[in-house]
Amino acid sequence: MQLTIEHIKNNGWLVLEAVAGSKAYGLDTAASDTDIKGVFVLPKDLFYGLEYTAQVNNETNDIVYYELKRYVELLAKNNPNMLELLCTPNEKLLLKHPVMDLLQPELFISKLCEQTFANYAFTQVKKAFGLEKKIMQPMDKERKSVLEFCFVYEDHYAKPVKVYFESSKMALEKAGLAAITHLRDCYNLYYSEVHSYAGIIKKECANDVCLSSIPKGEQPVAMLYFNKDGYSAYCKQYLEYWDWVGKRNDERYNRTMQHGKKYDAKNMMHVFRLLLVAKEIAMEGKVNVFRKDRDFLLAIKEGKFEYEEMVERATALKDELPLLYQQSDLQDLPNLEYVNELLIKMREQYYGE
């Protein structure tokens, strides 16, 4: 059975539901969406059977529910999203079953947070840089042809194939190619006004050069090299770029373009939010979901800092963490044996009711 958000809610399997994301952090603006995260408990027949479902989300991914086992499993790994859900302020809770009171933050918060929060933060740096690359290196909608990756070697120089044919006043469709043994992606180039050669490519959208049947005794006019690796890399980049264009959040993209810093400032804001939460965990032993540093974080989101400065400051903040965690009173790891017993107790209590 394919579970849905509606199925879980209508059957009363939900045991925790909370506002998440920017509205939980206190970083929301007028344009912010409402993100919801929650925890559900599968009924016995689905839990014990083959069709275990660990996670369910809606089409837009702004509502995500985790099955109790998966939720506790991620908590034990100090997953930042799950710890934030566990520590959500009461005013942001939409539903909480009494069985969830058995899960307390101090059971899970450990020195693992140094890595989980910092590593997650620096994936956002990569995302910010990835967007910068796409903005700074846009790609034409018209895809390049194989011909643009073909070069003719003549007189000790490699010339683009189109330049070679134009300067030689020859027609591309009257050319023929034959592979050269032991020379990868290299071809003997033939030309004839008499013989019917296949040309260099069969059609403009071709993904490879084509070969011709060459009459015995014909002499090549030059050697052609097809940069096949370069063409493959270009095609991959082209598909990734236009896939990104099709899926990108235009409002967020336009905001990035308006602030003129050419990087995704929202991702960068989350870098600092995560690193600051990690620092607070080491110093205070708790996860502060609601942010008192709203003005600073929103200034980052508005693009008021240069990308290089942000990376430098984030790296410095990350470098502070090892000593802070070493000096903290946090447990090294959650007690998995106790957590396992607690999970069993929670499920028995829920099913018993």
What percent of the chain lies above the pLDDT cut of 70? 91
Here the tokens at position 153 are 């070697």
pLDDT for position 171: 94
Give residue 120's pLDDT band: very low, low, confident or very high (50, 70, 90).
confident
The 3-state DSSP class for residue 14 equals: strand
Q: Is the pLDDT of residue 40 over 70?
A: yes
From 156, 224, 152, select the one nearest 185 (Cα to Cα): 224
CATH classification of 1-108+334-353 is 3.30.2350, yes or no? Answer: no
Query: Torsion angle, CA of 175/180/184/186, rounded to 10 degrees?
Result: -30
Kind and range of the H or E element at 187?
Answer: strand 186-191
318-335 pLDDT per residue, tens = 999 999 999 999 999 999
Neighbours of 278 (CB within 10 A): 27
Here the tokens at position 12 are 């009363």
pLDDT for position 263: 72
**Distance (Å, whole) CA 338 – CA 344:** 10
235-258 pLDDT per residue, tens = 998 988 787 777 665 555 555 544
CB-based contact 269:224 (threshold 8 Å): no
What order do you get walking across the sheet with 14-20 strand by strand? 55-57, 63-67, 35-40, 14-20, 93-96
The number of CA neighbours under 13 Å toward the Cβ of 130 is 13
Rg (CA), the chain: 29
For range 191-218, the mean pLDDT: 93
What percent of the chain lies above the pLDDT cut of 90? 70
pLDDT for position 323: 96
pLDDT for position 257: 47
Here the tokens at position 344 are 């069993």
Domain with CATH 3.30.460 in the chain: 1-108+334-353
Query: Torsion angle, CA of 239/241/243/249, rounded to 10 degrees?
Result: 180
For range 85-114, the mean pLDDT: 97
Q: Alpha carbon of 26 to those of 79, 91, 208, 284, 305: distances in Å? A: 21, 12, 54, 20, 21
DSSP output for 135-155: HHS---SSPPPGGGGEEEEET
CB-based contact 289:295 (threshold 8 Å): no
Backbone dihedral angles phi then psi of residue 141, each to the nearest 5 degrees: -65, -35
Identify residue 144 by its one-letter amino acid code. Answer: K
CB-based contact 47:346 (threshold 8 Å): no
Q: Tell me the whole-structure pTM to 2 decimals.
A: 0.66
CB-based contact 46:52 (threshold 8 Å): yes
**Distance (Å, whole) CA 228 – CA 240:** 18
Strand partners of residue 277: none
Give residue 129's pLDDT band: very low, low, confident or very high (50, 70, 90).
low
Q: Is the pLDDT of residue 160 over 60?
A: yes
Kind and range of the H or E element at 226?
Answer: strand 222-226
